[in-house]
Amino acid sequence: MDEKHQHQHQPQIMASPRRYRARELLLVVMCFFVGVHLWTHSVAVPFLPQQAAEFLAPTQDDGSVNGLVPFEAHIISKCPDTRHALRNLILPVMQKIHDKVDFKLSYIGKPTANGGVDCKHGPSECIGNIIELCAHELYPDPKIYLGFVMCLTKDYPQIPDRTLIEDCALEHAIDFNKLNECAARDETAHGIELLRNSVQRSAEANVTISCTIRLNNEVYCIRDDDQWKDCPNGSGVNDLVLAIEKLYRSS
């Protein structure tokens, strides 16, 4: 659908003036990030300097952790298919079998020749991805960060509006100031690193479509253009739960 596949620059949505706090404004920090770190005629987020990148291990597919089944969703933050997949499949499944899976959210972008990442819906999506990755880093329990991501995704056209982020953080007991600090750490290099590593993970798995669901490191089902595709075992909640339970028993 056009909303998902069009590549265009998106204006940043400014925060509500009545809630403006200059010292800690996330959007001020991220506007700096966009202005300094994005190429003048591109929405690509440059990677870290080479000397810093040398200390980062390449991302690899994980095997089962303590007998848990690898369960991963590859998404982008401003995507209607992500919203549908989270709301209608991933969250209901996690409510049933969260104790049997090693769950991850990974993000999709296009690595560029200049060493950057091209976010499909522009800088605002890059910011949304970073915010969600920071939530995961700070609150690794899926019950917390996945709920926060779903809260943002319900109103994905508004990402990265400050009011939306604050409201979702409050709803899911996430410290907004810690989110801001994560995104802004080391002059935003930390947030860029999180995004870069996540995009690399998706690229290494040959995933390019949001939302792609992988189970046990293999594609299980894809939500694209408002429909489920490549789902030989079914796209229903019970279908996925049964597949996970079967893998869990055999691990």
The pLDDT of residue 131 is above 60 = yes
d(C-alpha 82, C-alpha 51), whole Å: 35
Average pLDDT over residues 231-245: 98
Q: What was the pLDDT predicted at 62?
A: 52
Pairing label, strands 101-107, 69-75:
parallel
Spell out the residues 6+ positions from residue 35 whose beta carbon is closer than 8 angstroms to its own: none
Average the pLDDT over each of 11-25, 69-83, 203-217, 229-243 and give the range with the smallest value: 11-25
pLDDT confidence of residue 117: 74
Q: What is the mean pLDDT of residues 211-227?
A: 98
Beta bridge pairs of residue 72: 104, 214
Sort residue 234 into left (φ over 0), alpha (ψ -120 to 50) or beta.
left
Strands (E), 6-162: 44-46, 69-75, 101-107, 110-111, 116-118
pLDDT at residue number 183: 93
What pTM does this model have? 0.76
pLDDT score, position 188? 86
> Hey, where are the domains in the chain?
2-6+22-45+64-250
The string of pLDDT tens digits covering residues 157-179 is 999 999 999 999 999 999 999 99
Lowest-confidence pick of 60-69, 112-121, 122-131, 199-208: 60-69
Statement: residue 198 has pLDDT above 60? yes
Q: Could you tell me where the beta strands, DSSP code E, fall in 7-79?
A: 44-46, 69-75
> Does the 2-6+22-45+64-250 domain belong in CATH 3.40.50.880?
no
SS3 150: helix
Assign 52 to helix, strand or coil. Answer: helix
Angle between helices 123-138 and 142-154 (to 10 degrees): 160
Angle formed at CA 128 by CA 151 and CA 230, multiple of 5 degrees:
75
Distance between CA atoms of 126 and 194, rounded to whole angstroms?
A: 11
pLDDT reported for residue 65: 66
Residue 200 · residue 210 · CB < 8 Å: no
pLDDT of residue 39: 31
